[in-house]
Structure 1
Amino acid sequence: MSRPYQKLVLICVHGKSCPQQGALDLCAAFRQKVIQLGIQDQIRVVKSGCLAQCGHGPMVAIEPSGEWYCTVTTDDVEPLLEGPILADKPLARLRYLAKKDGKNVLPRDQWPIAATTDPS
């Protein structure tokens, strides 16, 4: 089976925490870098619905490898592109290993990245 893109980069931009933790800026930074590198025909950056890992975000999932990354910021775009996305080399410092299957939601006072926007 052929795929139109080699990799999909799914960025959670919905839910309780990711949008407040800079996910939209992260998505824009990923798209800009992909275009700058001229790889938009190989890498597709997609705004995702909630990935139900609230508080661990912004969350990035890479397909088809199935790797998830947490607390991703715009500063992490290049290392993620150079490592797991283009070279299939995991980036350990951001790798998300869920403590259990399914939802893994942190209370707001335990978010590793503070909200940058007001939820109201």
Structure 2
Amino acid sequence: MPLFEHHLFLCTNERDESASRPSCLPHGSKKLKSAFKDAIKDAGLKHKVRANESGCLDQCEHGPVVVVYPEAVWYGKVHLRDVEEIVREHLVGGRPVERLRLSEACINSDRCPHRK
């Protein structure tokens, strides 16, 4: 079996409602994982792409968050309606979905204007 070409990490972190930052799980990230797995299989990519649950990716204000490696493309505010487009455009076509990409200014940075 060949190596995976892509790994998707989907944040499924859950914080208490009183936490200072939001979390991805209450925004449907578990359903996203199932939808990605189905779309990956339907696209014939089952042995080329792996969808994995992740703990906190520290992009809480942008959740649900998905990151695709090896390109390190970060997507935020991902909804079920976006799954097919990400699979078709990015994983099959090699073109990241720009409208869902997180700004580089927000990735791994305390200076993100959305961060609380």
Tell me the TM-score normalised to structure 1 length: 0.78
Q: What do you get for the CA RMSD once the two structures are aligned?
A: 1.8
Letter of the 1:61 counterpart: V
Distance in structure 2 (CA, Å) of the matches to 1:33 and 1:23: 15
Q: Partner residue of 1:77?
A: 83
Equivalent pair of 2:14/2:26 in contact (CA under 8 Å): no
Percent of paired sites with the same residue: 29
Distance apart, 1:42 and its partner CA: 0.5
Distance in structure 2 (CA, Å) of the matches to 1:36 and 1:83: 14
Equivalent pair of 1:52/1:102 in contact (CA under 8 Å): no
Distance apart, 1:67 and its partner CA: 0.5
Distance in structure 1 (CA, Å) of the matches to 2:81 and 2:28: 12
Distance apart, 1:98 and its partner CA: 4.1
Unaligned residue ranges in structure 2 (runs of 5+): 16-22
More deviation, 97-106/37-46: 97-106
Equivalenced residue count is 105
- Residue 20 in structure 1 maps to residue 19 in structure 2: no
Q: Deviation per CA, 1:15-44, whole angstroms, max 9, x where unpaired?
A: 441001110011110011112233110010
Q: Partner residue of 1:102?
A: 109
- Residue 36 in structure 1 maps to residue 30 in structure 2: no
Tell me the TM-score normalised to structure 2 length: 0.80
Distance in structure 2 (CA, Å) of the matches to 1:36 and 1:63: 20
Distance in structure 1 (CA, Å) of the matches to 2:42 and 2:87: 12
